[in-house]
Structure 1
Amino acid sequence: MARKVGVYTRISRDDEGESLGVARQQQDCERLADLRSWQVVKTYEDNDVSAFKRNVVRDEFELMLKDLRAGLIDGIVAYDLDRLARQPRDLERLIEIFDERPRLEFATVTNDINLGSPDGRTMARIMVAFANKSSHDASRRIKRKHLELAQQGKDSGGPAPYGWRKDDRTKVDPVAAEAIRKAQREILAGVRIGTIRTRWQQQGLGNPRAGTKRMAHHHVEQILTSPRLVGYRTYRGEILLGEDGEPVKGNWERINTLEEWEAVCAAVAERKQKHPGKSLARKYLLSGIARCGLCKTKIRGQINGRWEPGSKATRYTYQCSVVNGGCGKVSRTGEPVDMLIAQLVLEEQRTRAAVTAVPGEQRWLREDELEQVTQDIAQLVEAERSKQITVATLLQLLPAKERLRDELKLERARFYKEQKQAEAKGDAANLTVEDFFALPIERQQEIVLHSLSAVIINPAGRGRRKFDPSLIEPVWR
């Protein structure tokens, strides 16, 4: 009976996402298996996955080890040993399995190593050690090259970040840039990143390889707050500063102004501080806004237990709950209450907009002071470089200037955050009711809270079935 083997293929980088490299490896490995009269029963493919980086988990490699240990396959065929392991610890895990099952087969296309013999294992350990050193050397050279490119404001290559064209990563992609700006306005208006992520996933936005991987929350957050949006060059995740202490500017087109970007970053950071690790998801418009007319406890929406799919009954109600400390005596069908409040709020905001002049965008009053402090820092650094002052003098004067600069930058970010948030939250005057309910639920709640501080739902009394708007009492700000 032919031995059942698995083929393992891996490539560290696949910028195009077409899997051509692993496909070539698979063909060569299957040809070798045929020559040995082995039956290939599974291909384990880790495409675009490093075997050198310690924090990377190779899912297919781990599955292959489990299958080997469980006896589901009788051996491995790989293109080369360094496709399997570039860290000695990974090789030792493989050798341990070959110790447990001495009759396992092993072959590579480029050389012939027997992991079942002491000499073969020694040779494998030497080869992996050299592959590991080669990766270390390459990593050091690449890091130095990337630092040099970063200092010059140049890109480091690779796939174009979302927001820029794939064929020319210095040019903005208009469609992607507008998607980013829209999402940023939503963030400032109170919409959750999770809501944006869900919509982007459905529309195929944000991920250059949409459809191959599920978009992560932190990936969307990084896109919306990336320093690249305002032209800042980063190195290893941090904004790179030049010799003058100012951020290095990249040679690509910008998507945001500095004020817009700082406002979004401040809004995201503020939300994390207020609600660390807490989900802000809402399903119903007035959850946490509505209050019981009898005990004044906050009311939340909940699914009506009597509702069935396909029925005409409304599927949710606002009900005072004993579990949440309420009296449990007030309940109201949710949909007509939401419709009434939306109509009242939109009408109130249209009336207010008609009589209130919209303030134009204001400039932060301390902008000149920040610019002067920044110049002072640059002059001090240049004076030390030209030997006009000593290092000791520089280190005496510099910390106070840097603290003031950082304080001013924080104040500027807070100023523009509040300004942009006010702009994003105050643009509901022209919305129709249909437009309102098409918005994300967080945005709907922000619009309601712009006009109301609460909604009192009063008891309807026994036997009353028809919706009575007079029992819904909005509390205006």
Structure 2
Amino acid sequence: MARRVGIYTRISRDDEGEALGVARQQQDCERLADLRSWQAVKVYEDNDVSAFKRNVVREEFELMLKDLRAGLIDGIVAYDLDRLARQPRDLERLIEIYDERPRLEFATVTNDINIGTPDGRTMARIMVAFANKSSHDASRRIQRKHLELAQQGKDSGGPAPYGWQKDDRTKVDPEAAKAIREAQREILAGVRIGTIRTRWQEQGLGNPRAGTKRMAHHHVEHILTNPRLVGYRTYHGEILYGEDGQPVRGEWEPINTLDEWEAVCAAIAERKQKHPGKMLARKYLLSGIARCGLCKTKIRGQVNQKWQPGSKAARFTYQCSVVNGGCGKVGRVGDPVDKLIAQLVLEEQRARAAVTEVPFDQRWPKDAELEQVNEDIAQLVEAERSKQITVATLLQLLPAKERERDELKLERARFYKEQKQAEAKGEARNMTVDEFLALPVERQQEIVLHSLSAVIIHPAGRGRRKFDPSLIEPVWR
């Protein structure tokens, strides 16, 4: 009976996402398996995955080890030993399994190393140690090159970040930039990143290399707060500063102005501080806003289990629940309540806007003060460089100026955050009710809470009744 083997293929980078490298490895491994009269039963493919980086988990490699230990396959065929392991600890895990099952098969296309034998294991350990050193040396050279490029404001290559054109990383992709700006306005208007992530996933935005994989929350957050959006160059995830103390500017077109970007960053940071680890998702407009007219307990929306698309039954209801500490005596069909509240709130905000028009284009009044502090810092650094003052004197004077600069920058971020939030929420006054109800529910709630502190739902009595708007009492701010 032919021995059943698994084929392992891996390539560290596949910028185009076409998997051509691993496909060539698979063909050569299948040819070798045929020559050995082995049956290739499964291909374990780690495409675009590093074997050197310690924080990277190779899912297919882990699955292969599991199958090998469980006896589902009788050996491994790989293109080269360094496709399997570039960290000695990974090789030792593989050798441990071959110790437990001495009859396992092993072969590589490029050499005749066999970790099933003592001599082969010794040679494999030496080769992986050299491969590891080679990766370390290459990593050190690459890091030095990337730092030099970063200091010059140049790009480091690789796939274009979302927002810029694939064939020219210096040019903005108009459609992607539009999606980013719209998502940022939604953040300022109260929409959760999770809601944006779901919509982007459905529309194929934000992560073109992810294919069918679910987009991570932190990935969307990074896209919307990336310093690259305002032209800042980063290194290892941090904004890189030049010798003059100012952020290094990159050689690409920005998408945001500084005040827009700082406002979004401040809004996201503030939300994390207010609700650390808290689930902010809402399904219904008045959840947490509506209250029972009898016991004044908060009423929450709940889906009607009998509802089916196209049926006449209510899609959801607002119900005072005993489980939540209420009396359980008040409930109302949800859709007409939402439409009524939307209509009242939009009318109130239009009337308010007609009386007092809020200016959204005011500049932060301390721009000149921050510019002066930055100039003072640059002068101190230059004075030490030209030997006009000592390093000790510089270190005595610099911290106070840096604290003043950081406090002013934080104040500027808060100023523009509040301004942009007011602008985003103010857009609602020109909406129709249908346009309002088509918004994400978090944004609907932000608009409602701008006008209302609560909605009292009074009891309607027994039996089926026509919806009575007079039993819905908005509590205006």
Is the shorter-chain TM-score for this pair beyond 0.5, marking a shared fold? Answer: yes
2:291 is the counterpart of 1:291 = yes
* Contact kept? 1:160, 1:166, Cα under 8 Å: yes
Report the count of equivalent residues.
Answer: 477
Deviating beyond 3 angstroms after TM superposition, the runs of 4 or more aligned structure 1 residues are 305-310
Kept in 1, the 8 Å contact 2:151–2:242? The answer is: yes
Matched with 2:452 is 452
Aligned pairs (5 A) from 1:244-393: 244-308=244-308, 310-393=310-393
* SS at structure 1 position matched to 2:428: coil
Contact 2:318 2:333 in 1 (8 A): yes
**Residue 304 (structure 1) shift:** 2.5
CA separation in 2, counterparts of 1:37 and 1:138?
38
| 2:442 maps to amino acid | E
Q: Is the 8 A contact 1:201 1:210 kept in 2?
A: no
In structure 1, what residue type is equivalent to 2:40? Answer: V
Q: Describe the superposition over 1:148-206 as per-residue Cα deviations: whole angstroms up to 9, x where unpaired.
A: 00000000000000000000000000000010000000000000000000000000000
1:450 Cα shift?
A: 1.4
2: CA distance between counterparts of 1:82 and 1:190? 49
User: Aligned equivalents of 1:130 and 1:360: distance in 2?
Assistant: 61
Q: Deviations over 1:212-263 (max 9, x none)?
A: 4321000000000000000000000110111111111100000000000000
Which residue number in structure 2 is paired with residue 201 of structure 1? Answer: 201
The offset of 1:352, in angstroms, is 2.1
Contact persistence 2:195–2:440 (CA under 8 A): yes
Q: Report the equivalent of 2:472.
A: 472
Q: Partner residue of 1:142?
A: 142
Letter in 2 for 1:436: F
Q: Could you tell me which residue of structure 2 aligns to residue 82 of structure 1? A: 82
Greater mean alpha carbon deviation, residues 297-306 or residues 162-171: 297-306
Shift of 1:71: 0.9
Q: Is structure 2 residue 21 aligned with structure 1 residue 21? A: yes
Letter in 2 for 1:146: H
Distance 2:350 2:402 in 1: 46
* CA–CA separation in structure 2 for the residues paired with 1:317 and 1:115: 66
- CA apart distance, 1:292: 0.8
Q: Which amino acid aligns with 1:415?
A: F
Q: Report the counterpart of residue 404 of structure 1 in structure 2.
A: 404
Say whether residues 1:92 and 2:121 are aligned partners. Answer: no
Listed one character per residue, the Cα deviations across residues 61-118 of structure 1 (whole Å, up to 9, x for unaligned) are 0010111111111111000000000011100110111111111110001101121111
**After the TM superposition, which residues 112-131 of structure 1 pair with which residues of structure 2 at under 5 Å, given as runs?**
112-131=112-131
- 1:103 is aligned to 103
Q: Which amino acid aligns with 1:251?
A: E
Distance in 1 between the 2:305 and 2:324 partners?
18
Q: Which moved more, 1:292-301 or 1:308-317?
A: 308-317
- Map Cα deviations across residues 241-292 of structure 1 (whole Å, 9 max, x no partner): 1111111110000000000000000000000001111111000010001011
Could you tell me how far 1:360 is from its partner in structure 2?
Answer: 3.9
Identity %: 88
Structure 2: gaps (5+ residues): none
Residues in 1 aligned to 2:411 and 2:358: alpha-carbon distance in whole angstroms: 24
Q: Is the 8 A contact 1:204 1:210 kept in 2?
A: no
CA contact (8 A) 1:65 1:94 kept: yes
Q: Which residue of 2 aligns with 1:184?
A: 184
CA distance in 2, matches of 1:359, 1:334: 36
C-alpha distance in 2, partners of 1:278/1:19?
Answer: 40
Distance 1:346 1:138 in 2: 61
Question: 1:287–1:299: 8 Å Cα contact kept in structure 2?
Answer: yes
**DSSP-derived class of the 2:295 partner:** coil
Residue 7 of structure 1 pairs with residue 7 of structure 2? yes
1:428 counterpart residue number: 428
What residue is the counterpart of 2:221 in the other structure? 221
CA distance in structure 1 between the aligned counterparts of 2:83 and 2:237, rounded to whole angstroms: 28
Q: Superposed, which structure 2 residues align to 1:18-57 within 5 Å? A: 18-57=18-57
- How far apart are the structure 2 equivalents of 1:307 and 1:251? 56
Mapped to 1, the partners of 2:371 and 2:296 lie a distance apart of 52
RMSD (Å) for aligned C-alpha atoms: 1.0
What is the alpha-carbon distance in structure 1 between the residues aligned to residue 339 and residue 43 of structure 2? 56
Matching residue of 1:154: 154
Retained in 2: the 8 A contact 1:7–1:77?
A: yes
Match of 2:69 in 1: 69
Match of 1:463 in 2: 463
Distance 2:274 2:245 in 1: 31
Aligned mates of 1:289, 1:212 — CA distance in 2? 37
Q: Cα distance, 1:357 vs. partner?
A: 2.2
Contact persistence 1:149–1:156 (CA under 8 A)? yes
Q: Match for residue 167 of structure 2?
A: 167
Query: Aligned with 2:144: secondary structure?
Result: helix
Displacement of 1:419: 0.4
